[in-house]
A and B are shown apart, each in its own frame.
Chain A
Amino acid sequence: MSEVPLPLDESSLRIQELAYGLKVRDVMTRKIFAVTRQCTMREVQTIMKNNGLTGVPVVDEGHVVGMVSMHDIMNAFEHGHLQDGVAKHMSASVQTLSDEVPMTFAMSAFSRYSYRRFPVVDKKNKLVGMITPRNINMALIRELSRQLNEMEEHGGTSGQGGASTIYHRVYRLDRYDFEHGGDASAALKRELKQRNTSPKIMRRAAIASYELEINIVAHSHGGSFTHFIDGNRVRITANDFGPGIPDVDKAMSEGFSTANDWIRSQGFGAGMGLPNARRVSDEFEIQSGVEMGTMVKSIIYLTEEPQHENK
């Protein structure tokens, strides 16, 4: 298994949803075998053999500066270079993943690159773990069984009607499908109305939902969209498969838009979407990786607290 394809068909939406809830940090291996530039290829080969590894990162003061793969070892062996230092044979262009991004970004990365493992780095760009497709598979299985157990404990229902029951809907959204864009948000509003939610809160949830829903339709290659309501709050998550946002701070500022003329002709593209979604949310989180995707989470409390605007 060298590849984890992104599951795109309808039946796998729930699985995707599991994947979106997990971060790279939650699924990576923390036990790291890393070497410094001073090590020889033979030493790396011994480490790989003894620990059943197929690749080892090379670090300098905690920062990843290269990777040595089984392939590099074989090449060095073939040419009698096993006594050389790793710096000479490692691949110096290394794709790392941030420990904060959703696990789905790692899945995208595995589909995109031919690498079979990625070093994971923290905010300071220091190596904190490694992630392989195996980590992802294990995490999915773990999460699946955890949720199954939870469902059994709750009597096997995911909720229908009633103000205190769980409402959980997952949608798949396609690029430029303005015909259906907004349907999910309309359904959310109907559900909240049925639960006798106060008009103010209902309006805020509907706006956050609609902005995020339209964002996927207008700006992404498509993605999934989820509503989750329990007794206390509405959680809206929007996940797409790219292209990702190069500068999230810029995207969060009012008036910044990358919308093309056609999107603008539909009345969108004033650069208010993300800022507006954040404004009406009680909690708001955004993660984006170029060519990997974007994850936005908005939470709106259902309790009648004074609204604090997130600026």
Chain B
Amino acid sequence: MGGMNIKRLAEDLGATPLYVPAGWEHLEVDSVFASDLISDILVSEGEDQLLLTSLTSAQVVRTAALVGIVAVFLVYRRHAPPELVAAARDQEIPLFCSAITKFEACVRAGRLKDLP
């Protein structure tokens, strides 16, 4: 199973970057974790994951950084509070936002994962 490229994911999910560090185009993830509970993120076992969430508090990015999440996609959101973007910059975690629903985002990411 190959990794999923973040840039490709962003394109497929119609996500716009709110913050990206240099070289982000080459980042890859093994799987996707979708949750609106910080507690769930903290017990997630996987590594090199993408987080799909509709939570917009700065804690999301901090928690993601602690457990080693590669990138955060806000879904069903058109905007993000500046604190969240600042936190992403602080932690150097790519942050995107997409207006599609979490379900739709999961479906599209799932299709991408199944590609050979």
Contacts and interface: CB of A to CB of B under 8 A. Distances in A.
Given A211-B42, A272-B43, A273-B39, A266 B59 contact: yes
A269 B83 CA distance: 22
A6 interface: no
A267 B42 contact: no
Nearest to B47: A199
A185 B37 contact: no
Interface in A249-277: 266-273, 276
B67 A267 contact: no
A271 B43 CA distance: 12
Given A268-B39, A270-B37, A185 B66 contact: yes
A181 B66 contact: no
Q: Name the interface size band of chain B.
A: 20 to 34
Contact of B66 (A178, A210, A272): A210
Interface residues of A, number: 24
Given A186-B66, A199-B68, A210 B58 contact: no
A199 B36 CA distance: 25
A153 interface: no
Given A199-B68, A270-B39, A182 B63 contact: yes
Contacts of B62: 182, 185-186, 210
Contacts of A185: 62, 66
A207 B66 contact: yes
Contacts, number: 63
Question: What secondary structure prevails in chain A residues at the interface with B?
Answer: helix
A273 B63 CA distance: 13
B59 A267 contact: yes
Nearest to B38: A267
Contacts of A207: 42, 66-67
A154 B54 CA distance: 50
A277 B109 CA distance: 31
Nearest to A209: B66
B12 interface: no
Interface in A144-182: 178-179, 181-182
Interface in B24-71: 36-40, 42-43, 47, 55, 57-60, 62-63, 65-68
Contacts of A211: 42
A211 B40 CA distance: 12
A272 B42 contact: yes
B63 A210 contact: yes
A269 B65 contact: no
A178 B47 CA distance: 26
Interface string B63-99: 1011110000000000000010000000100000000
Interface in A41-59: none
A112 interface: no
Nearest to B61: A182
A152 B27 CA distance: 48
A203 interface: yes
Nearest to A265: B57
26 contacts: A179-B58, A182-B59, A182-B66, A185-B66, A186-B62, A186-B66, A186-B91, A189-B65, A199-B47, A203-B67, A203-B68, A207-B66, A207-B67, A210-B62, A210-B66, A211-B42, A266-B38, A267-B36, A267-B38, A267-B57, A267-B60, A273-B39, A276-B39, A276-B42, A276-B43, A279-B43
Given A181-B59, A207-B66, 18 more contacts: A178-B58, A182-B63, A186-B66, A206-B67, A207-B67, A210-B42, A210-B63, A210-B66, A266-B59, A267-B38, A267-B57, A267-B60, A268-B59, A270-B37, A272-B40, A273-B39, A276-B39, A279-B43
Which 4 A/B pairs are nearest by Cβ-Cβ distance? A270-B39, A267-B38, A272-B39, A182-B62
Interface of B: 36-40, 42-43, 47, 55, 57-60, 62-63, 65-68, 83, 91
